[in-house]
Structure 1
Amino acid sequence: MAEIDVQTTEKEDGYEFRVTVREASSETRHRVTLNKSDYEDLVGGKASPEELVRESFRFLLEREPKESILGSFDLLVINRYFPEYRARIGERL
């Protein structure tokens, strides 16, 4: 199973995350942004922003290898590729 490390920087209107995914002997790095209002819409405060991002990466890793995950993206972009994301992520937290 992959190790997912999430480092957070809080911005005025949201968050920026530096995510490192380690699996076997390799790793990938990602920059993820999230607007505060989108965070509230997705989880309603029942999980921290870091937990949301970590679980979102688990969701992605169930569907694609870490090397296929974009290097930089807004968290809601996941829904464009996987339309079930928005409905499922709340259930997973």
Structure 2
Amino acid sequence: MPKIKIKSQQNNLGWHFKVVLESEGYFEFNVTMDKDFYSRLSTRVEPDIVIEKCFEALLSREPLQKILPEFDIATVERYFPNIMGEIQQKLALTAEEA
């Protein structure tokens, strides 16, 4: 699994994330997440953790090089219909560990 580094910036509508994955190279992604989507998934963990778990789920489904360089996290479900259930499970486990 690549090393995931996340920097976030909050605004009135939600967050913008710069996600860097290091695995035999350097890959950078710009990801957004609005507050409504965040509250539907989990408010028991920080938004950065939501993005981390989303990337873990994405990487289990497709190669790093095929992930879009810029996207809103809510669009992931269009490409992978069952991914949100997996992400919610990962978030629940993370919240329990905290």
Normalising by the smaller structure, the TM-score range is: over 0.9
Deviation at 1:11, TM superposition (A): 0.7
Partner SS state of residue 16, structure 1: strand
Partner SS state of residue 5, structure 1: strand
Q: TM-score, normalised by structure 2?
A: 0.89
| Paired residues for 1:15-30 under 5 Å | 15-23=15-23, 25-30=24-29
CA distance in structure 1 between the aligned counterparts of 2:15 and 2:30, rounded to whole angstroms: 11
Deviation at 1:91, TM superposition (A): 0.6
CA distance in structure 2 between the aligned counterparts of 1:77 and 1:13, rounded to whole angstroms: 16
Deviation at 1:27, TM superposition (A): 1.7
What stretches of structure 1 move > 2 A for 4+ residues in a row?
A: none
Instruction: Identify the residue that residue 50 of structure 2 maps to in structure 1.
Output: 52
In structure 2, runs of 5+ residues without a counterpart are 92-98
Partner SS state of residue 40, structure 2: helix
Deviation at 1:33, TM superposition (A): 0.3
Instruction: Identify the residue that residue 6 of structure 1 maps to in structure 2.
Output: 6
In structure 1, runs of 5+ residues without a counterpart are none
Deviation at 1:14, TM superposition (A): 0.3
Amino-acid identity (%): 30
CA distance in structure 2 between the aligned counterparts of 1:83 and 1:35, rounded to whole angstroms: 19
Equivalent residue letter for 2:2: A
Count, aligned residues: 91
Counterpart check, 1:89 vs 2:87: yes
Q: TM-score, normalised by structure 1?
A: 0.93
